[in-house]
């Protein structure tokens, strides 16, 4: 994952903040958050899971390639299952959002 936001904004006393300033700050913090999560999950859980499978399932350091394949297959399957599990609620949220957005013009006309 490449870092795209390598600078952060510095604010002065009594500075008027524009939407561009706040958007820049949000983009920087959002990217830092994503990088932190990706590194913690990738380095922490991936290495630990591979080591545990190597030691407790295969029992030999010579089976590292099998452990990597096993951990990759299991984590990919789990990711796909979680994605499919979340699609239903996500679609429901999109449907409710469309209902709210379609009701806004009518509400504005009624209250104008």
**How high is the pLDDT of residue 26?**
87
Alpha carbon distance 1, 34 (integer Å): 10
Nearest-5° angle of CA 77, CA 91, CA 105? 160
**How high is the pLDDT of residue 2?**
64
Q: What string of pLDDT tens digits covers the 112 residues of the chain?
A: 566 666 777 788 888 888 888 888 888 888 888 888 878 777 888 889 999 999 999 999 999 999 999 999 999 999 999 999 999 999 999 999 998 888 877 777 777 6
Q: Which of 81, 80, 53, 90 is nearest to 68 (CA)?
A: 53
> Is the model's pTM score more than 0.75?
no
Q: What backbone phi and psi angles, to 5 degrees, belong to 12? A: -105, 160
């Amino acid at each position: 994952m490449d870092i795209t936001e390598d600078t952060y904004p510095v604010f002065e006393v009594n500075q008027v903040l524009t939407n561009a300033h706040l958007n820049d700050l949000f983009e920087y913090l959002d990217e830092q958050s994503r990088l932190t999560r990706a590194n913690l999950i990738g380095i922490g859980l991936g290495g630990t899971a591979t080591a545990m499978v190597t030691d407790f399932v295969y029992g030999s350091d010579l089976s590292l390639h099998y452990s990597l394949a096993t951990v990759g297959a299991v984590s990919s399957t789990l990711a796909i299952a979680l994605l499919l599990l979340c699609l239903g609620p996500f679609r429901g949220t999109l449907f409710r959002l469309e209902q709210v957005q379609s009701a806004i013009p009518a509400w504005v006309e009624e209250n104008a």
